[in-house]
Chain A
Amino acid sequence: MRPAKRNSSLYFNYPEYAFTRPVEMEGVQTKHSVVIIGGGPVGVTAALELARHGIASVVLDEKNTVNDGSRAICVARHSMEILQQLDLSDKFESKALPWTHGTSYYKDQPVYRLEMPHSDQERFHPMYNIQQQYIEQYLIDKALKEPLIEIRWLSKVIDFEQNINCCVVTVETPQGQYKFHAAYTLAADGGRSAVRRLSELKLNGDSYEGRYVIADIQMQSDYPTERRAFFDPSSNPGLTILVHKQPENIWRIDYQVDGDIDEKQELQEERIRSRIASILDMMGETGSWELEWWSLYKAYTLALDDYRHKRVLFVGDSAHLVPIFGVRGLNSGLADAVNAAWKLAYVIHGWSNDSLLDSYSPERRGATLDVFRNASKSTKFMTPPSRGYQLVRDAALSLALNNDFTQHLINPRQSQPYTYSESCLSSFSERDAEFESGPQTGAALINQRFTENDYLLDNLGKGFSGLYFTDSESIDEGLLQCFSELNVGNEEFTLIIISRDTVQSGAKTISQDNGHVVFETYNAQPGTFYLIRPDRHICARWRSIQTNEVIQAFRQSLGETL
């Protein structure tokens, strides 16, 4: 909701996209490869990733602009690495506010200092704050320049069915209805997914006690960008507040409201203003401020039992709703989009058979369940569901004022990429077990700095990649033969050869002084090899490369049953 006297944003000009009559309304029969329902950040990321792999898609969105109001604001490092592959990370970095730290307060006194894992080996910060409006706009701007993506605005899905060969979508537009066919559907249509409803599928899971008002205000303040959580503060006794800084001097204030209070009354503008005024007073902010937007939020952990429904893959909120406190909604949605997109592209190209898509749900639903485990703990800490939880939470916070041993209970468990160790695409767990450390099979690659502005992840290609660690200047014939078999269609295998003083990637050889760190991070010795999927997750790894096993692992990660 916006303040009564204002109907536009204080800082964001919402674009207006025009409806264009599609060819289907002129009687042309079409069959598209992929239709993406929902032009939010997850849907458009999927479209861009498909296009990167050479697959065209049609994106349908019922609006003619980006999402309004206070939505996602935190982009995790893993998401920036996804955006880097879409050539968008520079754009995001030019606007977003990076952060590494957070502070939790109990009764207005600091009790916990959050330090997100960070080092000079990373190109990106652990977290960035940026409003979803910008996230969507940057993605859409990029998609509008991409010939393989057609976004159809003001296009609402009113019927959806699928048969053995294709999906049939009925679309309502300002100029009437039409039907069209697509081989596959990505349902990125959010928490109230029409595709989910029309497919008669249901989210299952739990809802949590406690409601929060989520408000954005504009205010000049020099306070640095970090996550602040206030437990039982003087401004809202017994309740919890979360504060984040965003670009354009926008501040996100999430405050818990009392369980007994009437929602309607609590959401009245005057009530919101007086609550925020007392919170700012508690925080020591004395400057003027303006109210941008507010809404009411309740935490859920809900998910579909299977994220694949024949020719439909559910991505983002249509597949799962997670509590906001670990900033995993958007971030896990982007990981869904990329996971689904490369697999779909490989199947449509004919490089993999359809069974590759069966790995989507176990991998991404596994990630959701992991999120649920963490989020359920952090949600119960943020908003204790019973007297018992309340008392123990307060005891842990009170002890933390003067002791260290309850600190980890206060850790907000922020978003981390999930490891697909159980996936059918991951293999050679016995080889994985030969390592003492380093990113394990199924994990996302860890970035490493080669030179001042050249990092490991910058060097990845579109298809599969490999990290080969060596102390020799040449690579033997047998290995070269093995690597030459790792191309898929027109997506060449990218080999990164790392020695202690050089890195060779494609035609480029660079000197680096960081080799010992890279070796250590990857627990490598000369001969160590990591095989990497197109989405930067590790298929398998060998302390000493075994070429026959590399080929097997490669085939397995393309969905072949061996």
Chain B
Amino acid sequence: MQKHLSDEDMESTYELLAEVIDRAGESGEKLLLTKLCLTLAHKLGSLQEIKEAIATAEMDLH
């Protein structure tokens, strides 16, 4: 059974992400987000789940 964030924790994540992107500024946000992805991928520990997450994120970009 997959573990998901609670609605409350997802809301906190939403805020944290918004704040850290603002702190990084336009010049740093890309690097920040990529570092975040590599770090989360490392913690997730499953290539399959990483692939699924990439596919989810890639939908409806433009």
A contact residues vs B (CB 8 Å cutoff): 391-392, 394-396, 398-399, 403, 405-406
User: Do residues B35 and A398 form an inter-chain contact, with CB atoms below 8 A?
Assistant: yes
Chain B neighbourhood of A399, CB < 8 A: 35, 38-39
Measured between C-beta atoms, what is the minimum distance from A404 to chain B in Å?
A: 10
Q: How far is the CA of A453 from the CA of B47 in the complex (A)?
A: 48
Measured between C-beta atoms, what is the minimum distance from A377 to chain B in Å?
A: 16
Measured between C-beta atoms, what is the minimum distance from A107 to chain B in Å?
A: 11
Q: How far is the CA of A403 from the CA of B38 in the complex (A)?
A: 11
User: Do residues B34 and A392 form an inter-chain contact, with CB atoms below 8 A?
Assistant: yes
CB-based nearest A residue for B32: A395
Chain B neighbourhood of A395, CB < 8 A: 31, 34-35, 37-38
User: Can you list, as one digit per residue, whether each of B33-62 has a CB less than 8 Å from chain A (1) or not (0)?
Assistant: 011011100100000000000000000000
Interface centre among A392, A395, A405 (most CB of B within 10 A): A395
Q: How far is the CA of A406 from the CA of B42 in the complex (A)?
A: 9
Query: What is the interface of chain A mostly: helix, strand, loop, or mixed?
Result: helix
A-B interface pairs (CB < 8 A), number: 23
Q: How far is the CA of A405 from the CA of B41 in the complex (A)?
A: 10
Chain A neighbourhood of B38, CB < 8 A: 392, 395-396, 399, 406
CB-based nearest B residue for A391: B34
User: Do residues A398 and B42 form an inter-chain contact, with CB atoms below 8 A?
Assistant: no
Chain B neighbourhood of A406, CB < 8 A: 38, 42
Chain B neighbourhood of A403, CB < 8 A: 39
Query: What is the interface of chain B mostly: helix, strand, loop, or mixed?
Result: helix
CB-based nearest A residue for B35: A395
B13-39 contacts to A, CB under 8 A, are 30-31, 34-35, 37-39
CB-based nearest B residue for A393: B34
Of the A-B pairs whose beta carbons lie under 8 Å apart in the complex, a sample of 17, sorted by A's number, is A391-B30, A391-B31, A392-B34, A392-B38, A394-B31, A394-B34, A395-B37, A395-B38, A396-B38, A398-B31, A398-B35, A399-B35, A399-B38, A399-B39, A403-B39, A405-B39, A405-B42
CB-based nearest A residue for B30: A391
Q: How far is the CA of A490 from the CA of B18 in the complex (A)?
A: 78
Chain B neighbourhood of A391, CB < 8 A: 30-31, 34
Chain A neighbourhood of B39, CB < 8 A: 399, 403, 405
Q: How far is the CA of A395 from the CA of B38 in the complex (A)?
A: 8
Q: How far is the CA of A394 from the CA of B42 in the complex (A)?
A: 16
Chain A neighbourhood of B31, CB < 8 A: 391, 394-395, 398
Q: How far is the CA of A395 from the CA of B31 in the complex (A)?
A: 6
Q: How far is the CA of A396 from the CA of B36 in the complex (A)?
A: 10
Q: How far is the CA of A392 from the CA of B50 in the complex (A)?
A: 15
Measured between C-beta atoms, what is the minimum distance from A402 to chain B in Å?
A: 11
Known pairs A394-B34, A399-B38, A405-B39 / 5 extra A-B pairs, C-beta < 8 Å: A391-B34, A392-B34, A398-B35, A406-B38, A406-B42
Q: How far is the CA of A398 from the CA of B34 in the complex (A)?
A: 10
Measured between C-beta atoms, what is the minimum distance from B19 to chain A in Å?
A: 19
Measured between C-beta atoms, what is the minimum distance from A305 to chain B in Å?
A: 33
Measured between C-beta atoms, what is the minimum distance from A29 to chain B in Å?
A: 66
Q: How far is the CA of A398 from the CA of B24 in the complex (A)?
A: 14
Q: How far is the CA of A293 from the CA of B38 in the complex (A)?
A: 41
Chain B neighbourhood of A394, CB < 8 A: 31, 34
Interface centre among B34, B39, B42 (most CB of A within 10 A): B34
Q: How far is the CA of A405 from the CA of B45 in the complex (A)?
A: 12
Q: How far is the CA of A398 from the CA of B31 in the complex (A)?
A: 9
CB-based nearest A residue for B34: A395
Measured between C-beta atoms, what is the minimum distance from A401 to chain B in Å?
A: 10
CB-based nearest B residue for A405: B42
Q: How far is the CA of A115 from the CA of B26 in the complex (A)?
A: 37
Measured between C-beta atoms, what is the minimum distance from A109 to chain B in Å?
A: 15
Q: How far is the CA of A237 from the CA of B62 in the complex (A)?
A: 32
CB-based nearest A residue for B39: A399
Q: How far is the CA of A391 from the CA of B37 in the complex (A)?
A: 11
Q: How far is the CA of A396 from the CA of B39 in the complex (A)?
A: 9
Measured between C-beta atoms, what is the minimum distance from A122 to chain B in Å?
A: 34
Measured between C-beta atoms, what is the minimum distance from B28 to chain A in Å?
A: 10
Q: How far is the CA of A406 from the CA of B38 in the complex (A)?
A: 8
Q: How far is the CA of A399 from the CA of B41 in the complex (A)?
A: 13
Chain B neighbourhood of A392, CB < 8 A: 34, 38
Measured between C-beta atoms, what is the minimum distance from A231 to chain B in Å?
A: 13
Q: How far is the CA of A395 from the CA of B36 in the complex (A)?
A: 9
Chain A neighbourhood of B30, CB < 8 A: 391
Q: How far is the CA of A396 from the CA of B34 in the complex (A)?
A: 9
Measured between C-beta atoms, what is the minimum distance from A6 to chain B in Å?
A: 44
Chain A neighbourhood of B37, CB < 8 A: 395
CB-based nearest A residue for B41: A405
Q: How far is the CA of A392 from the CA of B34 in the complex (A)?
A: 6
Q: How far is the CA of A394 from the CA of B33 in the complex (A)?
A: 12
Q: How far is the CA of A349 from the CA of B62 in the complex (A)?
A: 69
Chain B neighbourhood of A405, CB < 8 A: 39, 42
Q: How far is the CA of A363 from the CA of B51 in the complex (A)?
A: 35
* 10 nearest A-B pairs in the assembled complex, by CB-CB distance: A395-B34, A395-B35, A405-B42, A391-B34, A399-B35, A395-B38, A391-B30, A392-B34, A398-B35, A394-B31
Q: How far is the CA of A394 from the CA of B34 in the complex (A)?
A: 9
Measured between C-beta atoms, what is the minimum distance from A124 to chain B in Å?
A: 36
Measured between C-beta atoms, what is the minimum distance from B36 to chain A in Å?
A: 9
Q: How far is the CA of A406 from the CA of B35 in the complex (A)?
A: 10
CB-based nearest B residue for A392: B34
